[in-house]
Structure 1
């Protein structure tokens, strides 16, 4: 049984939710200017708060396209 609350997202969950590639997520994490939420480690797992990812996505999606391109907008096609 998974005892991690649903408000926590794994890296794979973040990839599915944002539709960004793993390398893009890693690039966002490495770039302090991206504003990407900081993860925490719980029992050896890297986790993100769902609320912080949702807020970052809303901010990212409302940014001008030129700014998104600079941030590495290479979304994976659905």
Structure 2
């Protein structure tokens, strides 16, 4: 069920979303899980633990900030 309330995640996970947005040319770009993890792991402002990247991606998918189709990740609009 959709809600009009803004979606809220911990700051470091929202930062992960911003890193993924800035690392892709547009919201239609598909990323594999490995590509998304590499973007996060190589960014200076993100923890360099693979488990943190996996957790952040999982939370972003579960919260609707990212969506997955055929094993590829796509970016959604967090304002919706």
Q: TM-score range by the shorter chain?
A: 0.3 to 0.5
Larger helix share, 1 or 2: 1
Q: TM-score, normalised by structure 1?
A: 0.34
TM-score by length of 2: 0.33
Q: Which has the higher contact order (CA 8 A, sep 6+)?
A: 1
